[in-house]
Structure 1
Amino acid sequence: MNRQGHVGLAILAGSAVLYVTPVMPMVPAAVLISAAGIGGLLPDLDHKTSTVSNKLQFSARTRKQLKGLSGLSVGIGILWFILQQPMPWLWLAGGLVLALASRLRMLLLSGLGLLFIAGYELYGLHWLTLLAGVAMLVMPFVKHRGIIHSPEFAAVLSVGVVSFTATQPVLFQALGLGLLAGWWSHLAGDAVTVEGIRSVLMPRLKVALNILRNGSTAERWIARCCWVSSIALWLITFY
């Protein structure tokens, strides 16, 4: 599924969770629905050009330009060094900065991953922090629809989120429920495409129903139906 289908399905999943949970105040309910929409996109962080990944990096054209400028800057720095010109390291440092900017997504995910892992090690945070840190750290290097899209990872994530939020205020519980609803809806949406999703423990076990094609007219209609159904659930829940 593409962004439109995933968001629509995630909002419907969050709305269904809201409908079956005990009466929830308006603010936590809004947090749950919003978190579901975000959770419906998060698994695609393992895709270099997905909607959510593109929020963490420059456009493809800009990244290409940054790489070119980086190579040029390093080349000038080396030439400056050979010719014994002053401060060649400025050009080399500039090339490094440009190279890092062209890989901003990898830099941000890896940096956040290390930060979460450090928080777990130094302050004894919940093991969900370690899971999130490791996931972010490896995210730029794993293949799309690999371990991050596996039902095993979703199951471990669910246990972690539920165990962490169980003793937290209602806003955190709503946030956790929403993220999980969106995450599982994402896997369900991918399972009906030709690419499908695959188990990590049993790689030959793959669910690919081949019912929808990414970006198809059917997907757009399903997304619209999901929004209509979600609004109906909101009205039933609150009125």
Structure 2
Amino acid sequence: MAPIAQLRGVALAYGEGAGRTRILENCDLSIERGEFVALLGPSGVGKSTLLRVLMGLAPPSAGEALVDIPDRPGRRRMALVFQDAKLLPWRRVAGNVAFGLEGLGLARREIEARVAAALDLVGLSPQARRYPHQLSGGQRQRVGLARALAVEPDLLLMDEPFGALDAITRADLQDELLRLREATHKSILFVTHDIDEAIYLADRVIVLAGAPARVQGTFETPTAPRKRADPRSWGLAEEIRAALECVSEIVDFEI
């Protein structure tokens, strides 16, 4: 069976001539169906840009982005969860979750059922009538996740969704995400710059680094279930750090 999504030799550059800036260069990656993949790299390297290429929002300068997901009525093929939940402050929680369903041609009763199911899945049913300003940071991120799940995507894209949260809330939501993955069997591409987070959550870690950014390696994580500070992960974490440091030294030398 073909991967649910893949990039083949993708490059992306902006501008022309002397002002041309290369962001991505010869990037290859794939996501198998039901797989949780972490895309790891330093801040500003181009991870979010790569997501935009995969979603068709940024046409590559070279190569191709392939998504093997059929169009189905009442659903979206992919959904994106942002670092900032990007909630509409004038809408209640339920209204924010319903926002992604608008334009899909669904009856009101179906929208209400989808919203209720998504809020129940992320444990926010009691907060359905609250406004975003009445929620904690972690709860706002749960609303963003519920909004993405409500459209029933085959591929869930997550762009550093826990990066702005405190350590305790972040750990709680990491565990919540693993529970949701187990319940929904979604294919997930999770962007992060945190090595420990990538290893704890994902089946595979893809390292993006360099200038322009390239895929520097793919690392298989220990078999689930994994634990925090799992001794099985220590060696892997060092391998990933070494790969990132090696690229950093090369880039510094070239500059």
TM-score past 0.5 threshold:
no
**Higher RCO (CA-CA < 8 Å; seq separation 6+):** 1
Q: TM-score range by the shorter chain?
A: under 0.3
Higher strand share: 2
Q: TM-score, normalised by structure 1?
A: 0.26
The structure whose Rg is larger is 1
